[in-house]
């Protein structure tokens, strides 16, 4: 079984269809066998390879594809129940008339989230990771190929609800956005530092509930910036709409920057004269 790319496993599904192996045989058989004792001598082989190098290669391919087509991809990470899907729906409603949007949903089971997204009229593809605890760059690449993405568009990836594992897996996104709801503890950034370190933006969600809670906003901001001093933070309530303007403008600016980058890259290409 391979939970990294889904190849050779019946656990990972894209919109309910199994992912199939295409790089490595999935028979479960391996072609190297131990031979009789005494016949061989030991030797050392230097490897010096990062365990995540394969994922990172796929992530770089994704990033290159996204840059070429001016697609702004955000990887939304949080614990389960932080309000990611509601946030996504409200974000789509605010942007879908000005930008083309697609969504990749990651969950262990069910396509309920993708169905909620599709109800807004935006294409959404569900990845079911089976027993896997995170999305990786290879799964996302498969999903991107199936989504028929538009140039100059937005692509949201809603990662599996998990504050631990998605931190280590680059998907090729422009930014990781971590969502923390005020119904969770202020100390989440200290307890799960990797994900707050990996993110560029933190959305503090469900802020409409603050009057009913003892959640200390200043403290959570201080904790988060201990881990990541450059972390941008926006306080929002996706359900009530407060603070959403700042988030929407942040996305628009990000989309514009990938479009500008692309224009500049094209402008920098050497001109070939016709003679």
Partner 1 sequence: MHELSLVENMLQIIEDAAAEQGFAQVKTIWMEVGQLSCVEKNALRFCFSVVVDGTIVQHAKLEIIDVAGSAWCEHCHCEVAISARYDTCPECGAYTTKVIRGEEIRIKELEVE
Instruction: Among 107, 111, 113, 136, indicate the residue that binds partner 1 (CB under 8 A).
Output: 136
Residues 62-81 within binding reach of partner 1 (CB under 8 A): none
Is 152 near partner 1 (CB under 8 A)?
no
Q: Identify the residue among 226, 245, 249, 260 touching partner 1 (CB under 8 A).
A: 226
Complex with partner 1: residue 45 or 267, whichever CB lies closer: 45
Burial (0-12, 13-18, 19+ Cβ within 10 Å), 81? exposed
In angstroms, what CA-CA distances link 73 with 65, 149, 170, 211?
11, 11, 12, 34
120 token code pair: 């807004």
Strand, coil or helix: what is 76?
Answer: strand
Out of 16, 17, 41, 269, point to the residue binding partner 1 (CB under 8 A).
Answer: 41
Find all residues with CB under 8 Å of 33, minimum gap 6, and list them.
Answer: none
User: Among the candidate windows 119-127, 167-175, 177-185, 238-246, which touches partner 1 by CB under 8 A?
Assistant: 167-175
- Eight-class DSSP state of 101: E
Return the number of the residue (198 or 236) whose C-beta is nearest partner 1: 198
Considering the complex, state which of residue 131 and residue 265 has its C-beta at the smaller distance from partner 1: 131
Rounded distance, CA 88 to CA 90, Å?
Answer: 6
Report the C-alpha gap between 204 and 164 in whole angstroms. 18
Site for partner 1 in 9-38 (CB under 8 A): 24, 28, 30, 32-35
Q: Which two tokens stand for residue 97?
A: 């008339």
- Residue of 94, 190, 209, 233 that binds partner 1 (CB under 8 A): 190
Which residue from 147, 165, 209, 233 is in contact with partner 1, where contact means CB under 8 A? Answer: 165
Residue number with CB closer to partner 1 (43 or 272): 43
For the chain, give the longest Cα–Cα distance: 75
Residue 83's alpha-carbon distances to 111, 193, 235, 243, 259, in angstroms, are: 16, 20, 13, 15, 29
Task: Give the one residue of 50, 218, 264, 275 binding partner 1; rule: CB under 8 A.
Answer: 50
Number of Cα atoms under 13 Å in the Cβ half of residue 47: 5
Nearer residue to partner 1 within complex by CB, 199 or 207: 199
Q: How far is the CB of 60 from partner 1 (least distance, A)?
A: 16
Q: Which residues are at the interface with partner 1 (CB under 8 A)? A: 1-4, 24, 28, 30, 32-35, 40-55, 131-134, 136, 164-165, 167-169, 190, 193-194, 197, 223, 226-229
């Amino acid at each position: 079984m391979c939970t990294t790319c889904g190849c050779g496993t019946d656990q990972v599904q894209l919109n309910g269809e199994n992912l199939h192996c295409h790089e490595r045989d999935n028979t479960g058989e391996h072609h190297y066998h131990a031979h009789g004792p005494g016949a061989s001598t030991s030797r050392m082989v230097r490897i010096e390879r990062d365990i995540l190098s394969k994922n990172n290669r796929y992530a770089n391919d994704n990033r290159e594809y996204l840059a070429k087509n001016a697609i702004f991809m955000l990887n939304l990470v949080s614990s389960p129940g932080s309000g990611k899907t509601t946030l996504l729906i409200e974000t789509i409603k605010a942007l879908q008339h000005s930008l083309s949007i697609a969504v990749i949903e990651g969950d262990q089971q069910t396509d309920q989230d993708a169905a909620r997204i599709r109800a807004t009229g935006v294409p959404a593809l569900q990845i079911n990771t089976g027993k896997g605890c995170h999305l990786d760059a290879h799964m996302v690449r498969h999903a991107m190929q199936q989504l028929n993405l538009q140039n100059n568009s937005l692509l949201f990836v809603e990662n599996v609800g998990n504050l631990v594992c998605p931190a280590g897996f680059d998907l090729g996104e422009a930014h990781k956005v971590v969502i923390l709801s005020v119904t969770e503890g202020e100390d989440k950034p200290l307890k799960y530092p990797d994900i707050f370190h990996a993110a560029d933006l933190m959305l503090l969600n469900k802020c409409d509930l603050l009057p009913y809670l003892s959640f200390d906003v200043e403290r959570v901001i201080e904790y988060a910036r201990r881990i990541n001093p450059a972390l941008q933070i926006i306080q929002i309530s996706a359900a009530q709409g407060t603070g959403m303007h700042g988030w929407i403008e942040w996305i628009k600016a990000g989309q514009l920057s990938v479009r500008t980058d692309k224009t500049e890259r094209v402008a920098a290409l050497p001109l070939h004269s016709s003679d």
